């Protein structure tokens, strides 16, 4: 298919002719090509010229507009802490400070396992009423803020108001930080969610959780309503994020000597009771 | 090496650390007490010694020899702090006091001997000064050199507390003493094997040979053994008291009022330290309530305290100490410091650790990006409290909650359980991304809707089929594994835990870490 090399005039012309020849045969393939071309044009026609891309995990970069976390952007992740932490992995591994606001139940060990640098991770589990000022103070000093907005008294009301989001948005652009919201965020550049998830390694009464394959779907305004989705290991057997094709299945995954084996059940369950 | 050593007067309080700790714990005088460091007896009281407790004994052995032994952990800071009043009292009585260690001081003998009319009279009156601090047994020794004087003080007895070794006789006094008094592990081990058991025999060796075999440290000890102690008393410079002390009359109720009241004093504290070219890296904040109860805590700073940061610490401690009990996290905070139940009458802030200011000067272009992060995070701490901003570090344990150690920003991390130690029975990776701060209560039912139970032998009553939340939401389970028994710290009734762990995956593809114990089923974590 169309590779992601530098787009030159001749290759573009070749693509055009091919689309013309295979009319009706591969509508899907043509759609994809057109979409990718549009995306590429839009990527080149950035309104703000100096939008810096942050180091991003390659498996997740493909799900984000522009192929990476853009400095000053806000991203929404629905319901998956692991996916949200995976968004922080790239900047954190590159040496940036990260903050997590409003997640008292965060598993720091899992964050470390995903590749986040715990020494540069700041936790604010209970920001309380002042969460907005806490988040904006943190945006000033850290590169990525993972935030879960507190629940409103009215469960129907959105957790974050438009006004608050736009105020934080301008501060984000000014400081070139990134906000990842667990839960919806007004005006997010991309909305990621896990549409399907299946765990490997656990049977009925035996085994232990080893890895999870998920389908992550991403929606962005810049893709005009179309969604992208990708199969990912989240987490892979080694605890990291990886695209599915890059990891061998769990059954044949070699285990290191220092990997602890799961403790055995004392006795098999007797089902006929 | 100078031939003559100065005449020194050493004062020694036998078993001072035991005395200091027993007083802090309000134990009866004469009770058998042992101080423990690294599992071994470091010091013990006379009553314990009479029962056969010795220094270097293991705790269990000591307790078996003396069942009523009060075992206390050794706290070097408490030891030094308790001796401070004695030292201050001595400094008022005579100049140039050289603190050797808590419980032992030395002073040049010439001045006091002239003043009191004789070395023995001087030693007796200085011992009298120490006795004023409710210390019954004080020994003193006068000899050539600090080393000999200290040993002379130890040679005394309660009946004859002062030993004076005449000038020039230090070598003869030291000669019969065993080499163990040198307190050097290598020499103490080696010399008896070479047939050298007394200091005199060691001193008789050639200086050059000893220096060649044992190096400069050995040569120094050789000189000490021969009664040639080149050291003289180096008097400490009495620290000028820098502290912020504010009394409130009438007592104040509001946190902000107290914080405002301490502001000027905190400013003076920091500038007073700066005047001595010092900055505080740790401060001790004491709050005293109207009814006499006190809250005391040491606050650390990754670099150095400014005045506003001192005020913040007072404010946070006050918030922690006056938090109504029963509120969230109250029990954890109440542990540090103590609780206040009445308005505040007094706040005292003392620098606990100081550093030369030169080491804390920021560079011309700042000290890098972390400086900015620190000030930003301190600002957030100012908004939501000291415990609001946390950092996590990996720790060792068998439950996910144990495997992370959380410390407030700016505090030095406490020595946590070591991750690298083997933790047999810990769950293999991956770790749950959600570890509930407070485990959620759940129910697990089998296919017939009966609750699943685990019996004493780790047998399941039936395979789990459904996860039921307290709100009644039901999640059918597709796969599960367990029970993995966990029996931790059975020797410690407070932290003992007996439970079974399960991993389950429900029909939506969500995985859970469940724990079943005497209290029922709990969701400890969620792999989301």
Cα–Cα dist A220/B239, whole Å: 66
DSSP B460: B
The reply to whether B119 and B37 lie within a common domain is yes
For residue A244, the model assigns a pLDDT of 84
| DSSP-derived 3-state class of residue A78 | strand
The helices-and-strands tally (H runs, E runs) of chain B is 15, 20
Query: Which of A254-263, B92-101, B286-295, B426-435 has the lowest average pLDDT?
Result: A254-263
State the DSSP string of B378-433. Answer: HHHHHHH-GGGSEEEEE---SSTTTTEEEEETTSPPP----TTS--TTPPPSSPPS
Three-class DSSP category at B6: coil
Q: A109, B435: Cβ pair inside 8 Å? A: yes
**Does B485 score more than 70 pLDDT?**
yes
Task: Identify whether residues A112 and A183 lie together within a single domain.
Answer: yes
Q: Tell me which residue range forms the domain holding A36.
A: 15-44
* Closest CA of chain A from B177, distance in Å: 54
On whether the CB atoms of residues A193 and A230 are closer than 8 A, the answer is no
* B479 SS3 class: strand
> Could you give the 3-state DSSP secondary structure of residue B63?
helix
From residue B376, alpha-carbon distances to A141, B372, B409 in Å are 6, 6, 11
Answer whether residue A235 is part of any domain: yes
**Which residues in chain A touch residue B446, judged by CB atoms under 8 angstroms apart?**
none
Best of A209, A253, A257, A262 to disrupt the B interface by mutation (most B CBs within 10 Å)? A209
Q: Determine how β-strand B162-164 pairs with β-strand B139-144.
A: parallel
CATH number assigned to the domain comprising residue B349: 3.30.1490.100
Closest alpha carbon to A242 in A58, A95, A68: A58
Instruction: Give residues with Cβ within 8 angstroms of B28, minimum separation 6.
Output: none
Chain A to chain B Cβ contacts (< 8 Å): 193
A59 lies in the same domain as A177: yes
Collapsing DSSP to helix, strand or coil, B503 comes out as strand
Of residues B449, B447, B464, B467, the one with CA closest to residue B510? B467
What is the helix (H) or strand (E) element at residue B450, kind and residue range? Answer: none
Same domain, A59 and A181: yes
Same domain, B300 and B396: no
B244-252 and B344-356 strand pairing: antiparallel
| CB B483 within 8 Å of CB B499 | no
User: Domain boundary at B380, B410, B444, which?
Assistant: B380
Asked whether residue B376 falls in the same domain as residue B396, the answer is: no
CB burial of residue B352 (10 Å; 0-12, 13-18, 19+): middle
Residues B367 and B405 in one domain: no
List Cα–Cα distances, B127 to A14, A127, B103, in angstroms.
103, 59, 12
Note whether A160 and A36 are same-domain residues.
no
Distance from CA of A249 to the nearest CA of B (A): 16
Q: What is the CA radius of gyration of chain A?
A: 21
Residues B234 and B260 both lie in one domain: no
For residues B270-276, give the mean pLDDT.
87
Considering the domain architecture, whether residues B216 and B121 belong to the same structural domain is answered as yes
CB contact under 8 A, A141 and B376: yes
Contact status, residue B357 vs residue B278, Cβ threshold 8 Å: yes
Considering the domain architecture, whether residues A34 and A120 belong to the same structural domain is answered as: no
**Do the domain assignments include residue A124?**
yes
Burial (CB count within 10 angstroms: exposed 0-12, middle 13-18, buried 19+), residue B169 = middle
Whose tokens are 């020694």? That residue is B12
Structural domain for B232, as ranges: 1-238
The domain boundary residue, chosen from B176, B209, B238: B238
- Candidate from A118, A130, A207 with C-beta closest to B383: A130
CATH number at residue A84: 3.40.50.300
DSSP-assigned beta bridge partners for residue B465: none
Residue A270 lies in a domain: no
- List, for residues B331-362, the tens digit of each pLDDT value: 344 335 566 778 889 898 988 878 787 766 66
Q: With an 8 Å Cβ cutoff, are A108 and B394 in contact?
A: yes
Q: Are residues B230 and B259 in the same domain?
A: no
Residues A178 and A68 in one domain: yes
Domain count, chain B: 4
Bridge partners, residue B385, by sequence: none
Instruction: Supply A211's token pair.
Output: 């890895």
Residue pLDDT, tens place only, B164-201 = 998 888 888 888 988 888 888 888 888 889 888 888 88
Closest Cα in chain B, distance from residue A204 (Å): 5
Does one domain contain both B74 and B222?
yes
DSSP string of B176-193, one letter each residue: TSBGGGG--HHHHHHHHH
Same domain, A134 and A102: yes
From A198, A240, A197, select the one nearest A60 (Cα to Cα): A240
Return the H-helix or E-strand segment holding B257: helix B255-275
CA–CA gap between residue B85 and residue A34 (Å, rounded)? 85
Q: How far is A261 from chain B (nearest CA, A)?
A: 6
Closest CA to B435 of B484, B471, B397, B383: B397
Decide if B435 and A106 are in contact by the 8 Å CB cutoff: yes
In a domain, A266, yes or no: no
The number of helices, as runs of H, and strands, as runs of E, in chain A is 7, 11
Q: At what angle do helices B307-322 and B369-384 cross, to 10 degrees?
A: 40
Whole-angstrom distance, CA of residue B153 vs CA of residue B97: 16
Distance CA B435, CA B431 (A): 9
Q: Domain check: are B320 and B373 in the same one?
A: yes
Is A273 among the domain residues? no
A244 is a domain residue: yes
Pick the last residue of a domain from B203, B238, B273.
Answer: B238
**Do A217 and A200 fall into the same domain?**
yes
Using a CB-CB cut-off of 8 Å, the residues of chain A touching B429 are 113, 237-239, 259
Q: Please indicate, yes or no, whether residues B67 and B131 belong to a single structural domain of this protein.
A: yes
Tokens 């407030």 locate to B408
CB spacing of B403 vs A109 below 8 angstroms: yes
- Is residue A177 assigned to a domain? yes
pLDDT in tens for each of the 273 residues of chain A?
444 444 444 444 444 444 444 455 567 888 888 887 877 776 565 555 456 788 888 888 888 888 888 888 899 998 899 999 999 999 999 888 999 999 999 999 999 989 999 988 999 999 888 888 899 999 988 999 999 988 777 777 777 888 888 999 999 988 889 999 998 898 888 999 999 889 988 888 889 999 999 999 999 888 877 888 889 988 888 888 888 875 544 443 344 444 445 555 444 444 444
Asked if residue A81 and residue A104 are part of one domain, the reply reads yes
Say if the Cβ atoms of B376 and A142 lie within 8 Å.
yes
- Residue from the list B376, B484, B528 with its beta carbon closest to the beta carbon of A138: B376
Residues of A in contact with B484 (CB under 8 A): 262-265
Which chain B positions have a beta carbon within 8 Å of A134's beta carbon?
380, 383-384
A260 is a domain residue: no
pLDDT tens column, B212-236: 988 888 888 888 888 887 777 676 6
Residue B334, pLDDT score: 39
Are B103 and B44 within one domain?
yes
DSSP type of residue B53: -
Tokens encoding A200:
């490997």
Q: What is the pLDDT of residue B238?
A: 61
At B188, which CATH number? 3.30.70.270
The count of domains in chain A is 3
Distance, C-alpha B195 to centroid of its chain:
41
Chain CA centroid to CA B392, Å: 22
Q: Are residues A216 and A172 in the same domain?
A: no
Strand, coil or helix: B434: strand
pLDDT of residue B81: 83
Q: In chain A, what residues touch B462 (CB-CB under 8 Å)?
A: 269, 271, 273
Residues A178 and A58 in one domain: yes
Chain A positions touching B403 (Cβ under 8 A) are 109
Does B218 share its domain with B269? no
What are the pLDDT digits (tens) for B360-379? 666 565 555 577 788 788 88
């Amino acid at each position: 298919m169309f590779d992601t090399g530098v787009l030159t005039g001749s290759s573009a012309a070749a693509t055009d002719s091919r689309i013309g020849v295979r009319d009706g045969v591969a509508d899907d393939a043509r759609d994809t090509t057109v979409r990718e071309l549009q995306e590429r044009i839009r990527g080149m026609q950035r309104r703000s010229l100096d939008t810096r891309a942050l180091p991003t995990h390659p498996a997740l970069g493909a799900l984000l507009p522009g192929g990476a976390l853009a400095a000053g952007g806000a991203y929404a992740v629905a319901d998956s802490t692991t996916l949200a932490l995976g968004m922080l992995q790239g900047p954190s591994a590159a040496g940036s400070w990260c903050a997590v606001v409003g997640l008292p139940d965060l598993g720091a060990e899992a964050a470390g396992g995903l590749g986040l640098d715990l020494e540069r991770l700041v936790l604010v589990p209970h920001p309380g009423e002042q969460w907005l000022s806490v988040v904006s103070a943190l945006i000033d000093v850290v590169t990525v803020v993972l935030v879960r907005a507190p629940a409103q008294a009215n469960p129907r009301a959105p957790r974050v108001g438009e006004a608050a989001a736009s105020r934080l948005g301008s501060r984000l652009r000014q400081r070139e930080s990134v906000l990842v919201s667990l839960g919806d965020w007004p005006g997010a550049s991309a909305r990621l969610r896990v549409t399907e998830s299946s765990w490997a390694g656990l049977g009925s009464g035996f085994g232990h959780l080893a890895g999870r394959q998920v389908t992550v779907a991403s929606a962005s305004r810049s893709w005009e309503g179309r969604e992208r989705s990708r199969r990912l290991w989240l987490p892979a057997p080694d605890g990291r994020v990886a695209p599915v094709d890059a990891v061998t299945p769990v059954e044949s995954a070699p285990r290191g000597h220092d990997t602890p084996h799961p403790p055995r059940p004392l006795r098999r369950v007797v089902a006929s009771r | 090496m100078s031939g003559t050593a100065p005449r020194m007067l050493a004062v020694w309080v036998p078993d001072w650390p035991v005395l200091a700790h027993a007083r802090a714990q309000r134990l009866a005088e004469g009770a058998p007490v042992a101080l423990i460091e690294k599992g071994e007896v470091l010091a013990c009281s006379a009553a314990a010694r009479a029962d056969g407790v010795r220094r270097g004994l293991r705790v269990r052995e000591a307790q078996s020899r003396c069942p009523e032994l009060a075992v206390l952990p050794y706290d070097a800071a408490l030891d030094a702090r308790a001796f401070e009043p004695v030292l201050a009292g001595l400094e008022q009585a005579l100049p140039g006091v050289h603190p050797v260690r808590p419980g032992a001081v030395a002073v040049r003998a010439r001045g006091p001997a002239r003043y009191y009319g004789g070395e023995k009279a001087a030693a007796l009156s200085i011992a009298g000064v120490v006795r004023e601090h409710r210390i019954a047994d004080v020994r003193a020794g006068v000899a050539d050199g600090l080393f000999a004087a200290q040993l002379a003080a130890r040679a005394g007895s309660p009946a004859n507390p002062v030993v004076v070794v005449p000038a020039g006789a230090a070598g003869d006094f030291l000669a019969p003493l065993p080499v163990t008094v040198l307190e050097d592990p290598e020499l103490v081990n080696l010399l008896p094997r070479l047939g050298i058991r007394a200091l005199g025999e060691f001193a008789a060796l050639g200086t050059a040979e000893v220096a060649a075999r044992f190096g400069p440290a050995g040569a120094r000890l050789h000189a000490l053994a021969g009664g040639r102690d080149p050291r003289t008393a180096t008097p400490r410079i009495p620290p000028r008291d820098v502290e912020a002390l504010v009394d409130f009359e009438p007592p104040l109720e509001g946190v902000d009022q107290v914080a405002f009241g301490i502001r000027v004093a905190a400013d003076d504290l920091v500038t007073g330290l700066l005047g001595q070219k010092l900055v505080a890296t740790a401060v001790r904040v004491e709050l005293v309530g109207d009814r006499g109860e006190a809250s005391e805590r040491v606050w650390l700073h990754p670099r150095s305290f400014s005045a506003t940061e001192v005020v913040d610490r007072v404010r946070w401690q006050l918030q922690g100490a006056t938090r109504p009990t029963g509120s969230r996290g109250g029990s954890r905070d109440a542990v540090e410091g103590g609780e206040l139940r009445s308005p505040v009458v007094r706040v005292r802030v003392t620098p606990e650790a100081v550093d030369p200011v030169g080491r804390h000067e920021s560079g011309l272009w700042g000290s890098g990006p972390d400086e900015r992060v620190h000030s930003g995070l301190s600002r957030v701490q100012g908004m939501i409290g000291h415990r609001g901003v946390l950092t996590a570090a990996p720790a060792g344990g068998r439950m996910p909650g144990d495997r992370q150690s959380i410390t407030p920003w700016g505090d030095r991390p406490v020595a946590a359980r070591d991750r690298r130690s083997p933790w047999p029975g810990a769950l293999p990776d991956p770790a749950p991304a959600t570890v509930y701060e407070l485990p959620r209560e759940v129910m697990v039912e089998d296919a017939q809707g009966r609750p699943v139970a685990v019996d004493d032998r780790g047998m399941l009553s039936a395979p789990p089929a459904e996860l039921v939340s307290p709100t009644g939401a039901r999640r059918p389970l597709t796969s599960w594994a367990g029970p993995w028994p966990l029996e931790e710290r059975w020797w410690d009734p407070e932290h003992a835990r007996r439970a079974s762990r399960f991993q389950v995956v429900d029909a939506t593809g969500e995985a859970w870490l469940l724990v079943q114990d005497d209290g029922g089923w709990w969701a400890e974590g969620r792999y989301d």
